[in-house]
Amino acid sequence: MKFRVWRLDEFNDYDADEREDNAWTVPDQRGILYPENSVPCDDVREAAERYADYFHSHRDGWECTWPVEFVVHDGVGYFIVEVEREMVPDFHAGKPTPLHVEAAA
C-alpha cells in the first residue's frame, strides 16, 4: 500500500484541487523525496512515522514543537496522525585537561 502525507497545517492551507499537487510522499530509503512516487508501508502509522523522520531531518522539523500532526491519505480515506519525537541524549566527552590540585597538609 502507498501513502501520501502532509503536515496538518499545510494540508489545511490547500483547497481540494491543490492538495494532491502539493502532497509529499513518504521518502524512499535513500532519504530523497520524489513527489511523483510513494513508498510502500504497512499502515497509516508507519507512513506518518517515516514521513516525520524525513520532515525532522530534511525540512527543518527539528525546529518545530513536537508532537506534530500529519494527514495521511491511503488512497481511500484521510487520517490525522499525531507523531511524537523521542529524545535520546548522546554524550561525547572532549579531551581531558589536567587539573592541578595541591595536596592537603
For residues 38 and 59, the model is more confident at: 59
Domain ranges of the chain: 4-83
pLDDT reading at 68 higher than 70: yes
The pTM score is 0.67
**pLDDT value of residue 30:** 39
Q: Using an 8 Å Cβ cutoff, are 33 and 27 in contact?
A: yes
CA distances from 42 to 1, 23, 26 (A): 7, 19, 12
Report the candidate in 33, 28, 45 with the shortest Cα–Cα distance to residue 79. Answer: 45
Is the backbone of residue 78 left (phi > 0), alpha (psi -120 to 50) or beta?
beta
